[in-house]
């Protein structure tokens, strides 16, 4: 029988000995085993640290794109993970949460790259002026820690639990070693095998110890980070490990908690909120067979509605079918193993010392398609605690299975008190259509919960539910829940970065941060900054404009144009007692006039105005005042291509408007703004196909030329190019576009990127990818025909610039898009035959 393996120090390996037998949760049959005997934890951690430099040196953009690529790769492999997940007792819906929820975390964290600079470290917050003259300042930077992230995970989400943590540490530039719980480590192993096989991550970025390595914390160092998901008892033990204390190692704990759901007093039977509450509670009891750290353990309801809730929940739970999770009619599978089922029974017995079991039976369960005795099946259990303010068992004991306890409250203050008696939880929810009730509960209970869901008829259709942690929100909670945070968007990534305050001059800190700091030295541009491509623009690159005198007519005309007739601009008889001395220019006119001074009129790499981020008017400008502008590159930001546009980035420009002739007691700076432009990146991938390049390539091609890929002969390639030119001319249009309509726009947009065409692609107009018979007598004649038809194509679109023609792959193309198609296509085939220098 195979063992669940480890991926450590670049190789797959078994532990020593037979190990712990792992059983199928549904059938009770052993199919693998887990052992960590013989694992050298210290060398595994050091291996990760030694190989971490590759991740650290990558920029946030590179890390994000790497994670996105991995997410796409794993999504294509997901079917096999579902088959294996059934062994954990999970239904298809349960597995979807674990598998695709995990992949969703990768996608979500990959998208965070847009919020970080295009460098390996982050610049946090705003600059801080440490001197009155602005020549000494500070800024905070955050750099990747030089250690390894150690993730100790629970059994209930073997895929999501790994990926929601690893996505974050990889984005930060830190490698990880993952220790899934032995009960379900085989599913984590399956995913790690695909990750390693993909070759997408650099070596050392991910290691796997399948099971519990009890000495894993013995050699952690100050640059490492440790996260733990599991029971509060085990978490407290790990947190007190002397090595963590001695090395001051960051430790994040996400522990089981007694999460509560509150039914608002307004949500009486017959209201949408009452029905939503019953549905939400039922789901949280039965999804993953209740084995969720976010499941609802305490059902807090108005005293007068206790019976209604109990009856309604009983009816809802009666509809839950239990059995083999592979069957479509089954709604709840098995617990992870019999040991877990016995643990749940024991915890229910503790709660039942003061509460009553009002639904379910600990020892009886009806199953579909499975043997209830061999599998770890359990019927949902509903308890009722009538004296929750005095009996604490239901507030301190968690049965980690399909178990929850109803408890009544007299008023909202009581409900808040009961919610807090759990001593800290990951999540609470309140179902109410009364926003005042929602507000009072949320503000009063927030001290004891990591997340609060307010659910009502308005939000229900789009709500992700009580038990769903989201990657852009924090996951964690105070007190019993562990006192830690995971995920949370940028917040989570910062957990793996070291914050450092950097002090110095604005000029120096501009170089350190990669962001222009006010009062730093300018880098005078040799030409207008808008004439540079994105790659050639650098923070500090600056242009000083010529002057413009603001006239009385300018102000009056702007008022009439915009209908902004504020008295300071139009009624000079009303200036007495105001801050204004004379007719005053509109602030937005100053900004518009500034744009008129710094905008480059010629077509160039600047594709579009992307917006205004901030603007301040520091003092008035009056008629007859003269201004000039200083335009300076402040920051560059990567941007994903969207639709039919060429690759481009965002450039933030710092705009300073100065009074050219200030009075002796006046500051010359009168306005500042940050504007954003979309700036095209250089095209360095493709050779521009001029007539000379085209002729040289064909001259180089001979009958003996061999392709680097594919089976085309030289003449087949030439005749294929001629065929596509005839399509572009509209001579051949009797075909259907092969690309499905739902993805056609996306495929069409790829013409605008700088990616090469894929090799070994079967042209859709050739039957089964087979080359058609040759139609010309020899290669020389074919080349001559290709040259002739290309000139005809160029002439046609010169004379008919509005013409379009259909392409079999990209759909309808206009003149410019055919140019893009020609450039990519000729580069593809000329490169295929080594015809380009």
Catalytic residue positions, numbered? 254, 293
Task: Compute the C-alpha angle 572/574/580, nearest 5°.
Answer: 70
Calpha distance 812→802 (Å, rounded): 12
Q: Which three-class secondary structure state does DSSP give residue 426? A: coil
DSSP 372-423: TTTTT----EEEE-S-TTT--HHHH----SSEEEEEEESSHHHHHHHHHTTS
Question: Are the C-beta atoms of residues 37 and 19 closer than 8 Å to each other?
Answer: yes
> Hey, what are 820's tokens?
């893009």
Q: Which 3-state string (H, E, C) describes 780-831? A: HHHHHHHHHHHHHHHHHHHHCCCCEEEECCCEEEEHHHHHHHHHHHHHHHHH
The torsion defined by the Cα of 77, 78, 84 and 88, in degrees rounded to 10, comes to 150
Contact of 338 with 27, CB cutoff 8 Å: no
Secondary structure class of 310 (helix, strand, coil): helix
Q: Which residues sit opposite 475 in a β-bridge?
A: 486
Taking the C-alpha atoms of residue 535 and residue 647, their distance in angstroms, rounded to an integer, is: 11
**DSSP per residue, 32-68:** EEE--TT--HHHHHHHHHHHTHHHHHS-HHHHHHHHH
Separation of alpha carbons 294 and 476, rounded Å: 10
Q: Which two tokens stand for residue 419?
A: 């919610």
Helix %, strand %, coil % of the chain (to 5):
40, 20, 40
Phi, psi angle pair for 284, to nearest 5° = -70, -20
* Cα–Cα distances in angstroms (integers) from residue 816 to residues 514, 682, 731, 794, 805, in the given order: 36, 18, 19, 11, 12
Joined together, the tokens standing for residue 101 give 């929820």
- Residues 172, 205 contacting (CB under 8 angstroms): no
CB 291 within 8 A of CB 336: yes
| Gap between the Cα atoms of 52 and 202, Å rounded | 9
List the beta bridge partners of residue 677.
Answer: 609, 651
The order of strands in the sheet holding 6-8 is: 11-13, 6-8, 206-208, 176-179, 149-152, 225-230, 251-255
Q: What is the C-alpha R_g of the chain?
A: 33
Task: Give the residue from 627, 625, 561 showing the smallest Cα distance to 595.
Answer: 627
Among 790, 814, 817, 816, which residue's Cα sits nearest to residue 803?
814
Alpha helices in 578-624 (DSSP H): 587-598
Q: Which of 167, 165, 174, 192 is nearest to 111 (CA)?
A: 167
- Of 619, 615, 614, 612, the residue nearest 568 (C-alpha): 619
**Taking the CA of residue 205 as centre, how many other CA atoms within 13 Å lie in the half-sphere pointing to its CB?**
28
Residue carrying the six token digits 């007068």: 304
Structure tokens at 418: 């009961």
Q: Which two tokens mark 76?
A: 């294509």
* Cα torsion 86, 91, 92, 93: sign: negative
Give CA–CA dist 830/48, Å, rounded.
43
Cβ within 8 Å of residue 113, ≥6 positions away? 60, 61, 63, 64, 65, 171, 638
Q: How far apart (Å, rounded) are the C-alpha atoms in residues 578 and 616?
A: 19
């Amino acid at each position: 029988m195979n063992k669940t393996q480890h991926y450590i120090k670049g190789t797959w390996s078994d532990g020593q000995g037979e190990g712990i037998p792992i059983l199928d949760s549904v059938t009770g049959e052993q199919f693998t085993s887990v052992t960590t005997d013989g694992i050298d934890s210290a060398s595994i951690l050091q291996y990760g640290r030694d190989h971490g430099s590759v991740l650290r040196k990558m920029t946030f953009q590179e890390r994000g794109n790497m994670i996105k690529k991995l997410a796409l790769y794993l999504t294509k492999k997901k079917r096999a993970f579902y088959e294996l997940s059934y062994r954990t007792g999970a239904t298809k819906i349960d597995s979807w949460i674990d598998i695709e929820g995990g992949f969703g975390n990768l996608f979500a964290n990959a998208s965070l790259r847009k919020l970080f600079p295009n460098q390996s470290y982050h610049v946090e917050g705003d600059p801080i002026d440490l001197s009155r003259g602005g020549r000494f300042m500070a800024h905070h930077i955050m750099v990747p820690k030089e250690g390894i992230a150690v993730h100790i995970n629970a059994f209930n989400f073997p895929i999501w639990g790994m990926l929601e943590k690893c996505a974050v540490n990889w984005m930060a530039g830190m490698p990880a070693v993952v220790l899934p719980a032995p009960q379900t480590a085989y599913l984590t192993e399956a995913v790690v095998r695909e990750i390693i096989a993909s070759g997408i991550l650099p070596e050392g970025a991910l290691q796997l110890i399948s099971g519990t390595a009890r000495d894993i914390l013995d050699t952690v160092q100050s640059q490492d980070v440790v996260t733990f998901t599991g029971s509060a008892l085990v978490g407290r033990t790990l947190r007190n490990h002397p090595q963590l204390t001695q090395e001051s190692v960051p430790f994040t704990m996400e522990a089981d908690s007694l999460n509560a759901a509150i039914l608002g007093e307004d949500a009486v039977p017959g209201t949408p909120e009452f029905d939503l509450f019953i549905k939400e509670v039922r789901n949280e009891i039965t999804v993953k067979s209740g084995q969720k750290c976010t499941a609802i353990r305490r059902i807090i309801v108005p005293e007068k509605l206790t019976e209604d809730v109990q009856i309604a929940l009983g009816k809802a739970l009666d509809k839950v079918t239990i059995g083999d999770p592979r069957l479509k009619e089954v709604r709840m599978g098995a617990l992870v193993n019999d040991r877990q089922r016995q643990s749940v029974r024991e915890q229910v017995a503790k709660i039942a010392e003061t509460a009553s079991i009002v639904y379910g039976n600990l020892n009886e369960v009806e199953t579909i398609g499975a043997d209830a005795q061999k599998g770890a099946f359990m019927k949902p259990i509903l308890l009722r605690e009538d004296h929750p303010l005095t009996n604490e068992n239901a507030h301190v004991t968690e049965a980690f299975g399909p178990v929850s306890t109803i408890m009544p409250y007299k008023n909202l203050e009581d409900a808040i008190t009961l919610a807090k008696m759990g001593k800290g939880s990951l999540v609470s929810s309140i179902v109410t259509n009364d926003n005042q009730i929602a507000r009072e509960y949320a503000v009063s209970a927030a001290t004891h919960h990591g997340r609060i869901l307010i659910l009502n008829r308005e939000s229900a259709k789009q709500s992700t539910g009580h038990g769903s942690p989201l990657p852009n929100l924090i996951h964690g909670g105070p007190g019993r829940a562990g006192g830690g945070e995971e995920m949370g968007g940028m917040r989570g990534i910062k957990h793996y970065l070291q914050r450092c305050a950097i002090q110095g001059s604005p000029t120096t800190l501009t170089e350190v941060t990669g962001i222009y700091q006010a009062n730093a030295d300018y880098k005078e541009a040799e030409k207008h900054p808008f004439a540079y491509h994105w790659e050639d623009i650098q923070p500090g690159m600056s242009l000083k404009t010529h002057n413009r005198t603001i006239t009385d007519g300018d102000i009056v005309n702007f008022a009439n144009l915009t209908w902004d007739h504020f008295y300071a601009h139009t009624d000079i008889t009303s200036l007495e007692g105001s801050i204004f001395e004379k007719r005053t220019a509109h602030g937005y006119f100053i900004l518009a006039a500034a744009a008129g001074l710094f905008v480059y009129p010629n077509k160039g790499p600047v594709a579009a105005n992307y917006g205004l981020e901030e603007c301040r008017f520091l003092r008035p400008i009056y008629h007859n005042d003269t201004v000039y502008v200083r335009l300076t590159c402040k920051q560059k930001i990567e941007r994903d291509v969207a639709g039919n546009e060429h690759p481009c980035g965002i450039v933030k420009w710092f705009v300073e408007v100065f009074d050219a002739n200030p009075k002796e007691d006046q500051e010359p700076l009168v306005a500042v703004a940050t504007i954003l432009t979309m700036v095209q990146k250089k095209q360095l991938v493709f050779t521009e196909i001029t007539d000379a390049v085209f002729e040289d390539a064909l001259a180089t091609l001979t009958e003996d030329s061999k392709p680097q890929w594919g089976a085309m002969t030289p003449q087949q390639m030439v005749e294929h190019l001629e065929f596509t030119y005839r399509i572009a001319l509209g001579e051949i249009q009797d075909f259907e576009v092969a690309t499905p309509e739902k993805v056609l726009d996306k495929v069409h947009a790829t013409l605008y990127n700088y990616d090469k065409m894929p090799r070994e692609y079967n042209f859709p107009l050739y039957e089964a990818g087979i080359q058609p018979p040759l139609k010309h007598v020899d290669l020389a004649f074919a080349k001559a025909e290709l040259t002739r038809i290309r000139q005809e194509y160029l002439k046609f679109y010169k004379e008919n610039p509005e013409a379009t023609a259909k392409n079999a792959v990209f759909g309808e193309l206009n003149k410019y898009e055919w140019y893009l198609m020609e450039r990519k296509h000729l580069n593809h085939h000329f490169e295929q035959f080594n015809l380009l220098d």
